Amino acid sequence: MTPSLEQVKEWFTQYNSSVFADSLPSVKFILNNTRRQLGQFYWGNGRGIGIKISLYWDRSEEEYRRTLLHEMCHLWCYNRGWIREHHGPHWKQIAAYVTKKTELQISRCTDASDWKPRNA
Ligand SMILES: [Zn+2]
């Protein structure tokens, strides 16, 4: 599937409410076509904060939701001053909580070896 920007924003709002107790600030969303990163939380250098999601790979809705949640864990850490730890202890802690709460496995890396580009 290919989520629209509106769809991604809707998931964010839902998860912010159901998982993060509406504690996350609103961010900018960018859909791109990057092969190397499924998603990215960006911050600093006067760019503001935002979440990028790549539409390059042909992936299921569940996989897109997992990518969004992974980046929302970075946002949660950013909000508490722990962003420089990257996938450090606080990120792991919130990822484990999100996994339990949503029953979607939020992991550090996803094996992309079986994926196919959307436009192949
Ligand atoms: Zn990450």
What's this model's pTM, rounded to 2 decimal places? Answer: 0.93
Instruction: Please state, rounded to an integer, the average pLDDT across all residues of the chain.
Output: 93
Helix, strand, or coil (residue 57): strand
- Measured in Å, residue 10 CA sits from the centre of ligand 1 at 21
Angstrom distance (rounded) from CA 12 to CA 110: 20
- Measured in Å, residue 12 CA sits from the centre of ligand 1 at 16
Angstrom distance (rounded) from CA 100 to CA 102: 6
Residue 49's Cβ-side half-sphere holds a number of Cα atoms within 13 Å equal to 14
- Domains defined along the chain, listed by start: 5-102 (3.30.2010.10)
Residue closest to 68 by CA, chosen among 86, 50, 51: 51
- Measured in Å, residue 108 CA sits from the centre of ligand 1 at 6
Could you tell me which residues come within 8 angstroms of residue 52 by beta carbon, excluding any fewer than 6 positions away?
29, 30, 31, 32, 34, 37, 39, 40, 41, 42
- Measured in Å, residue 78 CA sits from the centre of ligand 1 at 12
- Tell me the pLDDT band of 72, cut-offs 50, 70 and 90: very high
